[in-house]
Amino acid sequence: MVFSSLVFLCIFLPIVFLGHTILPGIRAKNAMLLLASLVFYAYGEPVYVVLMVASALCNYLFALWIERFQDQKKWIVSVAVILNLALLVIFKYAGFLTESVNTMFGTGFPVPDIRLPIGISFFTFQAMSYVIDVYRGANKAQKNFGKVLLYISFFPQLIAGPIVKYHDVEQEIEHRTQSADGVARGIRRFIAGLSKKVLISNVMGMTADALFGAAVGTLGAATAWVGALSYLFQIYFDFSGYSDMAIGLGWMFGFHFKENFNYPYSSTSIREFWRRWHISLSSWFLEYLYIPLGGNRKGKVRTCINKFIVFLCTGIWHGANVTFLFWGIYHGCFLMLEEFVPFFRKEGGKIKTAVMRIYTLLVVCIGFVFFRADTMTQGMQWVKAMFTGFSMGTASTSLALQQLTPLYLVTFTVACIASFPVFEKWKSDGRYQEFYNNMAFVCSIVGLVLCMLSLAGGTYNPFIYFRF
């Protein structure tokens, strides 16, 4: 089940919200949310819901053992991490690794055909963070398995994050309030995310799919740039839209998740981009991989190696494909470039800021071409066409022009504006705050109506991160 579906919007969410509101006591509310979360996951994965529950149970037990057997806690946490990673390897990478071995060594091992459980990367990382934090003493082991399972399976952030740490929501699992103001803010934030997904990402996605799926012979500079920019906006508004919906749903039920995106396309370096893009994942790797590797405490060369390892793992985390692996290495290389070349570290005026912003967007856009490409060959052909395909014939130009419908052009313009913090100052400026709030209310109503009309039409509606 996805948030941008009529089943969720018209049946699941109203029933769960009403039940949570009228049930007395936190225990009854938690029990209802836990049951609803399991139903939410089982709707799409009736078999793998058992896997998720088993994963939560194992990590719950590991945390209890760490707290009980302090002299053995290093071994226990090591086993817990290995088993969690093994879960990812088996379900996410077994086929890819087998194919790679067969290709490199000429072997004929049968390639396992294992269906990837929805959201396995997200709930596995949450479970690992819980156990590691108990090991570190950041929080105590929870004695109630139901609360641990609710933390891992809570439906707003189950499928595509943001990745939540247990100590960030522990108090709200135990005690929380559901205020009218919080519910109103949550609804507006949810509709904002839904509008990003349905009204912007879906339109951009149709064009990106049409062009990335076109024949190689029609690929020229025009088609390559339209496709690349369309995917640049599709993935941002898809993923940030999902995060907005998750945060809004959390507010509606009395939970407060941390922000996951902060206008990443306004960044002036790749380093800054990763402080603004998928913040919960970047924070996870920072806290549980980069710092344990030594962080920046062992010299500049070791710091760069640690960063490179982190981005290698970031690429691997996204999927079992050479393109994802390359995407992680690609970003790691630019981070090292910014670390060693003095030009990137020196402060500058408005001109340098503009140049750095263009540089960052260009690097990110090219990186996402490989992220979207089915193979490295397609990615290389696409990037080559972006910069050398200006002499292609009318077939390429015609294909590009076919995509530039009035709907696409309006949506593209809105996407450009919404990618930057154009209206952010109005939120805190007393002169514009009332106007901003009124406009947000009106836009929420209009956005919801347009989203419902679009969904009722049964149009294109995928989630890019649905199976990460």
Mean pLDDT, 10 residues at a time, over the chain (468 residues)?
Answer: 85 93 92 94 84 94 93 92 91 84 82 83 92 92 94 88 89 89 91 93 92 81 91 94 93 92 93 93 91 82 85 86 90 88 80 91 95 91 85 73 90 93 74 76 87 79 62
Rounded Cα distance, 300 and 295, in Å: 10
Give the pLDDT score at 262. Answer: 92
Query: What CA–CA distances, in Å, run from 175 to 131, 148, 253, 405?
Result: 22, 15, 12, 51
Amino acid identity of 63?
A
In sequence order, the 6+-apart residues with CB closer than 8 A to the CB of 288 are: 128, 129, 132
Please name which of 261, 237, 235, 236 lies closest in space to residue 247, comparing C-alpha atoms. Answer: 261
Do residues 151 and 173 touch, judged by C-beta distance below 8 A?
yes
Give the pLDDT score at 2. Answer: 83
Residue 420 φ then ψ, to 5° = -125, 150
Question: How many CA within 13 A on the CB side of residue 21?
Answer: 12
Please name which of 60, 238, 223 lies closest in space to residue 143, comparing C-alpha atoms. Answer: 60
Give the pLDDT score at 105. Answer: 80
Please name which of 316, 309, 281, 275 lies closest in space to residue 295, comparing C-alpha atoms. Answer: 309
Give the pLDDT score at 98. Answer: 86
Amino acid identity of 59?
N
Count Cβ atoms below 10 Å from residue 387 Cβ, excluding itself.
11
The residues annotated as belonging to the active site are 318
Amino acid identity of 279?
I
pTM: 0.91
Please name which of 299, 296, 307, 300 lies closest in space to residue 331, comparing C-alpha atoms. Answer: 307
Give the pLDDT score at 433. Answer: 72
